[in-house]
Amino acid sequence: MTDTPPIRRNRPTFTDQEALQFHSQGRPGKLEVVPTKPMATQRDLSLAYSPGVAVPVLAIAADPSLAFDYTTRSNMVAVITNGTAILGLGNLGALAAKPVMEGKAVLFKRFADVDSIDLEIDTEDPDAFINSVRYLGPSFGGINLEDIKAPECFIIEERLRELMDIPVFHDDQHGTAIIAAAGLINALHLTNRDMAKTKLVVNGAGSAGIACTELLKAMGFAPNNVVLCDTKGVIYRGRTEGMNQWKSAHAAETNARTLAEAMAGADAVFGLSAKGAFTDEMIRSMAPNPIIFAMANPDPEITPEEVAHVRDDVIIATGRSDYPNQVNNVLGFPYIFRGALDVQATTINMEMKIAAAEALAALAREDVPDEVAAAYQGSRPRFGREYIIPVPFDPRLIHTIPTAVARAAMDSGVARRPIVDMRSYKAQLSARRDPVAGTLNGIFERVRRFPKRVVFAEGEEEKVIRAAISFVNQGLGRAILVGREDRILETATAAGIELEGREGVELHNARLSHRNSTYAQFLYERLQRKGFLFRDCQRLINQDRNHFAASMVALGDADAMVTGATRNYSTVLDDVRHVIDEKPGHRVIGLSLCLARGRTVLVADTAIHELPTAQELAEIAIEAAGVARRLGYEPRVALLSFSNFGQPKAERAEKIQEAVRILDGMRLDFEYDGEMSADVALNRELMAQYPFSRLTGPANVLVMPAFHSASISTKMLQELGGAMVLGPMVVGLDRPVQIVSLGATDADIVNMAALAAYNIGG
């Protein structure tokens, strides 16, 4: 692998007043409770509370495991502290810890869709704390302990794990250990070290230091190769000063007595102590290619800049976001609990922690998607000395870590509800973070069963190359990159992509293709009466990748095509339509897939017909309904206007009415109606004011009166409403072609390539 240059990100800056305003503006704090069931009618209230609630009460009384089915317990974690070790601020008390615990709860929801509530317990007495928590088991699926000082944190966690039948996890211990272990796995890989022979020093014998030591020994470090140090020096066999049972368990057979002596010749060092704990001399004394994890917060034991002045063969990680290789607990706890909750684990054991660390390490070795690269402001990270740990905004974490944890829970016998179909579970996890992933999952699965050859027309673009490789890696088919071979390979090499000789990827140079003359003749026969000479067609095939790629699809040399990353949508569509006609009996339209608040709605026409006639609106409705069916939805089509069934009267609304009459004259097997406003089409209560409406429920296909209204509404929905919008998808062509928008990411291109392979448009 090729190393990236050092990556430096700007550290977020804000004033104290800005931080206070953030927490106080609007509704104070960072959490609210939102009902997941309707509460609009008396019947809703009767079902939610009395008398309807008695039914699940009796069911749970008869079978306690049903609480996971009928209550929030299966997706609820309590974040609990007594405030004795708040961040790097010390013992400030339970109440002062509440902003941190609320923040932790927010992170659970943001990264893994785990519901969470914070509980601050106002006692420093471990027994009182334990007795406060032990009886909360029926309320939660897991307990996340946080910001509790050592050694009390060991006592509390150990005792609660014995008393409770749900996971109890002190994140300051195990979260740090898991993330650091993942980074260390990769650092050992890069420096060609064997874990069993590596000499490691752990400086800091608090909760995180002890947990790191335990985890690494469980993973394969030899006990006497791990030297634990505290403020008094090395924890060695026979030492009595400042000892406790947790330190004694890791006392090493060594002659070293100081941190400096322990670090001499060491391969790696973990810092979980304080700023300045590592000196230049200590770093200089370490073995070649040393591994330094300086994880003290907010300031590390030694900074990367300070290390660089001493030696240049170091791999270094810190706890800070403005340096590479951040050891960030958010990479762990949301996803670990996600996996544990989903199998209803009784505990989080060592096997599950090791599985999480190994999955994180493996993820860092994979090529990163555009979402990650964007956070680096154009500098795409690649596995190497500056990138050994994934970053928190990697969208793959949600389906990578929980699956590993869940599988380990099942294998180790602590899962009460094993997962049978892990592939389906992985897809469900993706849908939690990305609703589009959930909707596309069925399409991806079908394409995997019937893989296709898809042409990626703009093959010299880095993100297109990445998309093509991802398409192949996901088992969706073969990828054909159109472009000059030398330019494609040069771009791939510069981006750190191993492309040459990769199975499943073909490179086609339009000018040098043996099919060149055939495509040119085919295009000439289509365009000769539209002002094109043969040499014009030859030039288009030689020089325009859209014409070449579309000809491949038209003549059966490929199954589908995706393009548009470098050109305007309408321009690309014109190029494609030089080569590929409308499907007989169909109309070419643009259709966008919108997902908002758990609802999926198709919107047409978002790309092609500027001011459609009544006939065109009717045909757009038919095309859109066909796509809804192919996506697995029973179409309910609303033809939209600013008016509702003739009120107010307007000339433009009459066109919608005429379109409905045209549809009435056809033998159609889907629901449709109009004209109606968007709120009536989407809101069951408002629709009830029009009992004559033919729609049996809220519309899932919206036919807009004009291109501009369709485009404006979907973009507003995306930007202001937080909706996910996929498309516009091309519908109605005789061959499968999809066009992405300018600025599309590699993930967008893969999605549209899958839609093309699925032939969503025809």
With cut-offs at 50, 70 and 90, classify the pLDDT of residue 647. Answer: confident
Closest CA to 603 of 570, 641, 638, 568: 638
Chain segment 161-200, per-residue pLDDT in tens = 999 999 999 999 999 999 999 999 999 999 999 999 999 9
Report the Cα 716 to chain-centroid distance in Å. Answer: 23
Pairing type for strands 560-563 and 737-739 reads parallel
User: What residues contact 417, with CB distance under 8 A and at least 6 apart?
Assistant: 68, 343, 344
Please tell me the predicted confidence (pLDDT) of residue 1: 34
| Residues paired with 604 in a beta bridge | 591, 703
Give CA separation, 62 vs 55, 56, 137, 164, 450, in Å.
11, 10, 18, 21, 47
Residues 644, 642: Cα–Cα separation, whole Å:
7
Grouping H, G, I as helix, E, B as strand and the rest as coil, residue 315 is strand
Q: Is 87 annotated as a binding residue?
A: yes
- Give me the chain's average pLDDT, please: 91
Chain segment 135-168, per-residue pLDDT in tens = 999 999 999 999 999 899 999 999 999 999 999 9
| Residues paired with 701 in a beta bridge | 602, 637
Closest CA to 38 of 669, 597, 612: 597
Q: Is 86 annotated as a binding residue?
A: yes
Residues 145, 172: Cα–Cα separation, whole Å:
8
Residues 385, 382: Cα–Cα separation, whole Å:
9
* Structure token digits, residue 319: 């706890």
> What's this model's pTM, rounded to 2 decimal places?
0.73
Amino acid at 94: A
Residues 84, 65: Cα–Cα separation, whole Å:
35
Please tell me the predicted confidence (pLDDT) of residue 445: 78
Terminal C-alpha separation, the chain: 42
User: If you write DSSP's letter for every residue of 677-693 in order, what string do you get?
Assistant: -HHHHH-HHHHTT-TT-
Grouping H, G, I as helix, E, B as strand and the rest as coil, residue 263 is helix
Residues 276, 274: Cα–Cα separation, whole Å:
6
Please tell me the predicted confidence (pLDDT) of residue 584: 92
Catalytic residue among 104, 199, 463, 655: 104
Chain segment 255-308, per-residue pLDDT in tens = 999 999 999 999 999 999 999 999 999 999 999 999 999 999 888 999 999 999
Closest CA to 563 of 572, 553, 575: 572
Residues 729, 714: Cα–Cα separation, whole Å:
13
Closest CA to 248 of 257, 235, 258: 235
Q: Is 89 annotated as a binding residue?
A: yes
Is the pLDDT confidence value at 325 over 80? yes
With cut-offs at 50, 70 and 90, classify the pLDDT of residue 112. Answer: very high
Residues 330 and 108: beta-carbon distance below 8 Å: no
Return the number of other C-beta atoms located less than 10 Å from residue 688's C-beta.
Answer: 10
Average pLDDT over residues 318-336: 92
Please tell me the predicted confidence (pLDDT) of residue 369: 77
Residues 471 and 750: beta-carbon distance below 8 Å: yes
∠ CA 270-186-284, nearest 5°, is 45
Is the pLDDT confidence value at 10 over 60? no
Q: Is 88 annotated as a binding residue?
A: yes
With cut-offs at 50, 70 and 90, classify the pLDDT of residue 115. Answer: very high
Please tell me the predicted confidence (pLDDT) of residue 176: 94
∠ CA 490-494-495, nearest 5°, is 115
Biggest distance spanned by C-alpha atoms of the chain: 97
Residues 594, 723: Cα–Cα separation, whole Å:
6
Check whether the bond before 151 is cis (ω within 30° of 0): yes
Q: Is 297 annotated as a binding residue?
A: yes
* Structure token digits, residue 199: 């000499």
Please tell me the predicted confidence (pLDDT) of residue 598: 64
Let me know if 98 is a catalytic residue.
no
Residues 431, 441: Cα–Cα separation, whole Å:
8
Grouping H, G, I as helix, E, B as strand and the rest as coil, residue 672 is strand
Please tell me the predicted confidence (pLDDT) of residue 371: 65
* Structure token digits, residue 505: 């990827």
Residues 357, 636: Cα–Cα separation, whole Å:
47
With cut-offs at 50, 70 and 90, classify the pLDDT of residue 395. Answer: confident
Chain segment 358-377, per-residue pLDDT in tens = 999 999 999 887 767 655 55
Domains plus CATH for the chain?
Answer: 174-412 (3.40.50.720), 438-578 (3.40.50.10950), 589-730 (3.40.50.10750)
Which of the residue ranges 198-202, 365-369, 568-572, 723-727 would you say has the lowest mean pLDDT? Answer: 723-727
Which of the residue ranges 161-175, 249-263, 315-329, 420-434 would you say has the lowest mean pLDDT? Answer: 420-434
User: If you write DSSP's letter for every residue of 205-247 in order, what string do you get?
Assistant: -SHHHHHHHHHHHHHT--GGGEEEEETTEE-BTT--TT--HHH
Please tell me the predicted confidence (pLDDT) of residue 15: 63
Please tell me the predicted confidence (pLDDT) of residue 470: 87
Residues 615, 703: Cα–Cα separation, whole Å:
13
Is the pLDDT confidence value at 436 over 70? no
Radius of gyration for the chain, computed over Cα atoms and rounded to the nearest angstrom: 30
∠ CA 657-662-665, nearest 5°, is 130
Please tell me the predicted confidence (pLDDT) of residue 12: 45
